Structure 1
Amino acid sequence: MADTPLAGTGTTVLACGEVRTCLLPAGQALDIRAADRLLALRAGERVLLSERPNLYARSPETLTGVDCPLPSAGGAVRAVGTVAARAALTEGRVLQTSAYFRLAATGPDQRRPWGQYLVRPGLLEPFGKAPHEAVARGVLDGGRPGDLDVGLIADALLTRLLRDPLLDQRPPLRSRPTRLRWAALPAEGEARPAVERFTLAEDELRTVRLRVPEGTPAADIAGLCDDLALHDWLLTTLVRLLDGITLGAPAEPVRARGAARDRPGVVTVLRPAVDHLLHLWMPRARVAAELAPLWDVLEERPGFTRQWRAQVQRIRDQLALHAIPAPHREVEPVP
């Protein structure tokens, strides 16, 4: 898909999108051939497949035509064009769908024929001048009923994929999907790319506001945000997995509906994480070179990889402790 660069003046002044990330509901990770079948969203267009540095598959992009108000902190802004959406599967295990658009700096006062919008996929044109700062704030805040919601487009694609008969609906561990909503504005002058704000909100929502160099393709920005969403989901899932168990406690009998059963032990709960998640941590594996420095900011604060390594070490320590046989005490016979 052709991608108009993000520019401070001229073509586009804002890129926005939303990413959905979840564990693929399948007992086993999909191999490269199954991933190809799952993500073949458009007949005649190939799925992007890669085996280095990890197994990765990305669908061709689909387009959704829109003619509606944009979320805006400064009042209604109507825009017309198309929103691009795509799906990706990492190591046959973590599924992501994302939708995004670029906003032109200015547009005509009247609507063009649809054919003129289709030749510039993923681009929205406002009626008149676009208040891009207000739109960026509106997108991150969620907008009002009736405004464009790219999250719904990403969610519809995710729902479609999760119903595929390739999936046996038997995930190896419990997890929750997450949402990452993003907005990227052009950096001023020769300023370097920057993460202006990264927040964790309620209902599994994350928001990130970026500054990127002029001329950065919106697809590259979407790729960075997909990578951020993937690693945020991995870290969130691991933290919740550890919070949901009593570390150091052996399996113990509990009572359920009048019958005794065993509460899952620590090893039973943690082993799926070792089998399916721990090898997936690979920040920047597919991030454009000019945007890769943004990961340095996230590593410094909040410190993604530091926290990940600490959680992984906790898991390995617990598994090591449970591999050691419990000591036996000598009990003297009672006379």
Structure 2
Amino acid sequence: MRSLGQSARPVLACGEVRTGLLPSFQALDGRAAAQLLRLRADEHVRVSERPNLYALSPDVLTGVDCRLPTSNGAKVRAVGTVAARAVLTEGRVLQATAYFSAPAAGPDLRRPWGHYLVRPGLVEPFGKLPEQAAAEGVLRGGARGELDLGMIAEGLLAQLVRHPLLDHKAPFKSRRTHLRWAARRAPEGERASLERFTLAENGLRTVELRLPEDTPVAAAAGLCEDLALHDWLLTTVVHMLDSSRLGAADGPSAVLALRPAVDHLLHLWMPHAHVDHTLVHLWEVLEREPGFTRQWQTLVQRIRDQLAVQAIPLLHEALSTSTR
């Protein structure tokens, strides 16, 4: 794994992605998306219109000096900077990610802040890093006084949703999801692998990766943003279908409940559209089990079938009226 601007090669990279609906009645176009995500005056927002509208903010840094979460209770103090960035897809789905990388070992004494600032997104442990325990600790979530990536990502989201461009009139109700990920170094000569994807309670997902030494940490963050986006789409459409009470509610009510999916979400499904080419093959794992696209296609077909069924009596009524 390769981070920006530091000499020590990281052996661990971790992050958390928060994903939710942009609180705006109208989707933002490319120009407005760039305004929203302009987190720094010295760097431009990257905006791509193909194959879909995708805007990526520059990174902003948060200085940290705290313990790393560990699964075995080891007290590992670490100092450095956590990188955070935001993504807006099709002007509709907003994501914030906080992530860092860490080397196998760090100094025994704290260095001046200038040392850490020229190594963006790198957090150095005091002494040796317990890689497995730290990875498991991040996936579990930090306790009080430990590094909390979710809090940093949530803080960035809170900053963005206060932007005057947003009217806070979302076209439908939805829930946020959060995805935590941890990537350890892959054995030499092996390519990247997705070891585990887990659905937990309260909208939490966890991802465990193995990455070659030369994989940029930002590429891992981009992969996990893409996974989080498509998981959020699945979760949201499933919730819409459940709320529509198909087969129980009357026709117009069911159509009204499903219309937001048609208007705002169905066209967003585009796996690995903006994922680094060296990591695209990891999507194949999720396509086999649990079968993301297969499940999505089933949901889309259910929605289309329901709309078609509800259209039949309306068409019959229109024909009857025209023949009178």
**Structure 2: how far apart are the matches of 1:193 and 1:41?**
31
What does residue 203 of structure 2 align with? 204
What does residue 239 of structure 2 align with? 240
Q: Deviations over 1:85-136 (max 9, x none)?
A: 0001000000000000000111111000000100010001111111111100
How many residue pairs were aligned? 314
Query: Residue type of the partner of 1:125?
Result: E
Percentage of pairs with the same residue: 64
Are 2:5 and 1:17 equivalent residues in the alignment?
no
What does residue 30 of structure 1 align with? 28
Deviation at 1:54, TM superposition (A): 0.4
What does residue 111 of structure 1 align with? 110
Question: Per the alignment, in what secondary structure is the counterpart of residue 147 of structure 1?
Answer: coil
Are 2:36 and 1:48 equivalent residues in the alignment?
no
Match runs of 1:1-335 below 5 Å:
3-4=3-4, 11-74=9-72, 75-249=74-248, 251=250, 265-325=253-313
Deviation at 1:271, TM superposition (A): 1.1
What does residue 321 of structure 2 align with? none
Stretches of structure 1 lacking an aligned partner (at least 5 in a row): 253-263, 329-335
Q: 1:197 touches 1:208 (CA, 8 Å); kept in 2?
A: yes
**Structure 2: how far apart are the matches of 1:122 and 1:16?**
10
Q: 1:195 touches 1:210 (CA, 8 Å); kept in 2?
A: yes
Deviation at 1:198, TM superposition (A): 1.0
Q: Deviations over 1:170-211 (max 9, x none)?
A: 111111000000000111122232221111111111011111
What does residue 322 of structure 2 align with? none
**Structure 1: how far apart are the matches of 2:286 and 2:203?**
19
**Structure 1: how far apart are the matches of 2:118 and 2:292?**
39
**TM-score, length-scaled by structure 1:** 0.90
Give the structure with the higher percent helix.
Answer: 2
Query: Residue type of the partner of 2:123?
Result: L
What does residue 257 of structure 1 align with? none
Query: Residue type of the partner of 1:217?
Result: P
Q: 1:3 touches 1:217 (CA, 8 Å); kept in 2?
A: yes
Question: Per the alignment, in what secondary structure is the counterpart of residue 244 of structure 2?
Answer: coil
**TM-score, length-scaled by structure 2:** 0.93
Q: Deviations over 1:67-102 (max 9, x none)?
A: 000001231111000000000100000000000000
**Structure 2: how far apart are the matches of 1:57 and 1:235?**
21
**Structure 2: how far apart are the matches of 1:306 and 1:77?**
43
Query: Residue type of the partner of 2:246?
Result: L
Question: Per the alignment, in what secondary structure is the counterpart of residue 276 of structure 1?
Answer: helix
Q: Deviations over 1:220-272 (max 9, x none)?
A: 000000000000000000011101122134549xxxxxxxxxxx711111111
Query: Residue type of the partner of 2:69?
Result: P
Query: Residue type of the partner of 2:46?
Result: L
Q: 2:139 touches 2:206 (CA, 8 Å); kept in 1?
A: yes
Question: Per the alignment, in what secondary structure is the counterpart of residue 313 of structure 2?
Answer: coil
**Structure 2: how far apart are the matches of 1:228 and 1:188?**
24
Query: Residue type of the partner of 2:55?
Result: A
Q: 1:181 touches 1:208 (CA, 8 Å); kept in 2?
A: yes
**Structure 1: how far apart are the matches of 2:182 and 2:249?**
47
**Structure 2: how far apart are the matches of 1:184 and 1:312?**
33
Deviates more, 1:164-173 or 1:301-310: 164-173
Q: 2:5 touches 2:119 (CA, 8 Å); kept in 1?
A: no
Query: Residue type of the partner of 1:244?
Result: S
Query: Residue type of the partner of 2:110?
Result: R
Query: Residue type of the partner of 1:278?
Result: L
**Structure 2: how far apart are the matches of 1:29 and 1:295?**
27
**Structure 1: how far apart are the matches of 2:159 and 2:58?**
15
Q: 2:3 touches 2:101 (CA, 8 Å); kept in 1?
A: no
**Structure 1: how far apart are the matches of 2:194 and 2:112?**
37
Stretches of structure 2 lacking an aligned partner (at least 5 in a row): 318-324
Query: Residue type of the partner of 1:82?
Result: T
**Structure 2: how far apart are the matches of 1:3 and 1:187?**
15
**Structure 2: how far apart are the matches of 1:236 and 1:97?**
18
